[in-house]
């Protein structure tokens, strides 16, 4: 659990006053310090989620690189004494596996680059790339297509804006409803 004390000009947020600290109070998102704090907590959640996704993707890159190196070493150490078609078929299969691993590695690196494009501090008024959407059916992070994951006991669907549900939600605002896979999904908040 994260405990956060928001202080501006040395004054805790619950003591902010429009008259005492008008500059600080006016710089808040909206006119309510509780709304600002909620946005800050959402930013911490989004940052934590992105850090978790980055770690997951980097682990995938490392595992794929190890497998790629191992497969490459196996191909290169294959003896030339094998006779005929059997040897060529074996080498072709290893090459096919190498091609698949290289494609998987390129895709994972592309996902990392896409994740780096997510705007952290932007507040969204509609569903778009980088938004975090809470619905009556669960939470969705619109960024890259990785599927469902659990973080700190909460389930979240990490989806691409190009996915079918991402397309259905794109441009929607809080309170809108989306019909998807035979279910009506109500969008509760967008951050």
The length of the chain is 191
Mean pLDDT over residues 97-120, rounded? 94
Number of domains in the chain: 2
Of 89, 116, 143, which residue constitutes the final position of a domain? 116
143 is a domain residue:
yes
Is residue 169 domain-shared with residue 110, that is, in the same domain? no
Is residue 110 domain-shared with residue 55, that is, in the same domain? yes
| Parent domain of 185 | 132-190
Query: Is the pTM here over 0.75, yes or no?
Result: no
Distance between CA atoms of residues 73 and 66, nearest Å: 11
Percent pLDDT > 90 in the chain is 54
Mean pLDDT over residues 151-178, rounded? 93
Is residue 153 domain-shared with residue 89, that is, in the same domain? no
Is residue 91 domain-shared with residue 139, that is, in the same domain? no
121 is a domain residue:
no
C-beta separation of 187 from 137 below 8 A: no
Percent pLDDT > 70 in the chain is 72
């Amino acid at each position: 659990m994260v405990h956060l004390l928001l202080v501006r000009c040395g004054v805790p947020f619950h003591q902010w006053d429009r008259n005492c600290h008008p500059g600080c109070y006016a710089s808040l998102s909206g006119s309510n310090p509780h709304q600002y704090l909620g946005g800050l907590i959402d930013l911490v959640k989004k940052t934590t989620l992105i850090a978790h996704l980055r770690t997951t993707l980097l682990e995938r890159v490392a595992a794929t690189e190890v497998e790629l190196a191992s497969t490459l070493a196996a191909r290169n150490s294959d003896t030339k004494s094998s006779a005929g078609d059997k040897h060529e078929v074996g080498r072709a299969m290893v090459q096919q596996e190498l091609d698949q691993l290289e494609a998987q590695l390129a895709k994972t690196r592309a996902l990392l680059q896409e994740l780096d494009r997510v705007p952290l501090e932007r507040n969204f008024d509609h569903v778009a790339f980088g938004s975090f959407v809470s619905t009556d059916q669960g939470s969705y992070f619109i960024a890259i297509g990785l599927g469902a994951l659990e973080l700190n006991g909460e389930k979240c669907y990490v989806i691409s804006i190009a996915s079918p549900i991402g397309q259905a939600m794109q441009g929607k605002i809080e309170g809108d409803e989306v019909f998807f896979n035979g279910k009506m999904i109500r969008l509760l908040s967008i951050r």
